[in-house]
Amino acid sequence: MRAGQIPDYLQQFIHQHIHSVEQLEVLLLLRSEPQKWWSAAEVSKRLFTIENSAAMRLAALHDCHFLQKKVEDGHVPLYRYEPLDEETDDTIGALDRFYRERKDTVIQVIFSPPSNRAKSFADAFKFRRDDS
């Protein structure tokens, strides 16, 4: 890995779970206050984004098992940072630190396709027609 380049395990994590900069920022916001329960409205105000978009990001992060969800009295869902395990928390922590230090590099990974190594590996399992 070259200096400043994002480690392979973080690239893999991003490609598997992070589909936009907004989604990453929602995750890191909730991680910054892990005891707080957040509504989509609160997240949208803090991040200056649209409430519906924040709601979609929160739901997606919950589906990835990064957030806990509760609904009190049938009202608005609330979310708080609570990843499935310590390893996931450590990875998200490393991504948080890397994003603060090299935001441009992380954004580039979010918008780039997976590495050629991963594509080559996946291509090895494709069935090809024999034209001979």
Asked, for residue 123, whether it belongs to a domain, the answer is no
| Domain count for the chain | 1
- Tens of pLDDT, residues 105-118: 999 999 988 765 44
Please provide the size of the chain in residues: 132
Whole-number Cα distances in Å, 89 to 7, 12, 79, 82, 130? 16, 15, 16, 8, 46
Is 132 inside a domain boundary?
A: no
Q: Given this model, what pLDDT does residue 64 score? A: 95
Contacts of 118 (CB under 8 A, 6+ apart): 12, 15
Would you say residue 67 lies in a domain? Answer: yes
- Domain boundaries, position 21: 8-113
Does 124 map to a domain? Answer: no
The 10s digit of each residue's pLDDT in 50-96 is 999 999 999 999 999 999 999 977 788 999 999 999 999 999 999 99
Domain assignment present for 21: yes
CATH of the domain at 107: 1.10.10.10
Which residues is 77 bridged to in the sheet?
71
Spatial CB neighbours of 64, under 8 Å, sequence gap ≥ 6: 17
- Helix H segments across the chain? 8-17, 21-32, 40-47, 51-63, 86-101, 103-111, 116-123
Q: Is residue 1 part of a domain?
A: no
Residue 63 lies in a domain: yes
Q: Quote the mean pLDDT of the chain.
A: 87
Is 26 within the bounds of a domain? yes
